[in-house]
Amino acid sequence: MTTSDFISRITRASMPDSGTAGWMAPSNIALVKYWGKRPGQIPANPSLSFTLNASCTRTELRYRFHNEATGPGVKVFLDGTPAPDFKPKVRQFMGRALPYLPFLGQMELEVHTSNSFPHSSGIASSASGMAALALCLMTLERNADPEMDDAFFLSKASFLARLGSGSASRSIEGGLIFWGEHEGVPGSSDLFAIPYPFETHAVFDSYCDTILLVDKGKKSVSSTAGHGLMEGHPFAESRFQQARNNLDSLQSILREGDLHAFAALVETEALSLHAMMMSGSPSYLLMKPGTLSVIEEIREFRRETGHPVCFTLDAGANVHVLYPEASSEEAYSFIKDRLLRYCVEGHHICDQVGKGARPLSPGVRSTAVL
Q: Which positions lie near ligand PMV, rule CB under 6 A?
A: 30, 33-35, 47, 126, 165-167, 223, 227, 273, 314-315
- Min dist CB 29 to ligand PMV, Å, is 7
User: Quick check: bond before 282 cis, omega within 30?
Assistant: yes
- Min dist CB 362 to ligand PMV, Å, is 31
- Min dist CB 15 to ligand PMV, Å, is 30
- Min dist CB 321 to ligand PMV, Å, is 17
User: Helix or strand or coil: residue 254?
Assistant: helix
User: Rounded to whole angstroms, what are the CA distances from 136 to 9, 73, 231, 302, 360?
Assistant: 18, 16, 33, 42, 10
Helices and strands (DSSP H and E) totals, the chain: 8, 14
Stated as kind and residue range, the H or E segment containing 112 is strand 107-115
- Min dist CB 170 to ligand PMV, Å, is 7
Of the two residues 170 and 307, which places its CB atom closer to ligand PMV in the complex?
A: 170
Of the two residues 62 and 320, which places its CB atom closer to ligand PMV in the complex?
A: 320
- Min dist CB 222 to ligand PMV, Å, is 8
- Min dist CB 56 to ligand PMV, Å, is 16
Task: Label residue 253 exposed, middle or buried (CB < 10 Å: 0-12, 13-18, 19+).
Answer: buried
User: Helix or strand or coil: residue 233?
Assistant: coil
Of the two residues 123 and 148, which places its CB atom closer to ligand PMV in the complex?
A: 123
- Min dist CB 336 to ligand PMV, Å, is 27
Residue 358 pairs in a beta bridge with: 24
Query: How many whole angstroms separate alpha carbon 370 and alpha carbon 106?
Result: 32
- Min dist CB 169 to ligand PMV, Å, is 8
Query: How many whole angstroms separate alpha carbon 91 and alpha carbon 363?
Result: 28
Asked whether the CA dihedral 196, 180, 2, 356 is positive or negative, the reply is: positive
Of the two residues 140 and 236, which places its CB atom closer to ligand PMV in the complex?
A: 236
User: Rounded to whole angstroms, what are the CA distances from 216 to 123, 196, 221, 295?
Assistant: 8, 32, 14, 18
Query: Who's near 114: CB < 8 A, 6+ residues apart?
Result: 57, 58, 78, 79, 80
Of the two residues 158 and 165, which places its CB atom closer to ligand PMV in the complex?
A: 165
Of the two residues 107 and 353, which places its CB atom closer to ligand PMV in the complex?
A: 353
User: Rounded to whole angstroms, what are the CA distances from 36 to 3, 96, 247, 276, 321?
Assistant: 21, 19, 16, 10, 24
Query: Who's near 293: CB < 8 A, 6+ residues apart?
Result: 342
Of the two residues 34 and 103, which places its CB atom closer to ligand PMV in the complex?
A: 34
Other residues' Cβ atoms within 10 Å of the Cβ of residue 364: 18
Of the two residues 33 and 156, which places its CB atom closer to ligand PMV in the complex?
A: 33
Of the two residues 60 and 314, which places its CB atom closer to ligand PMV in the complex?
A: 314
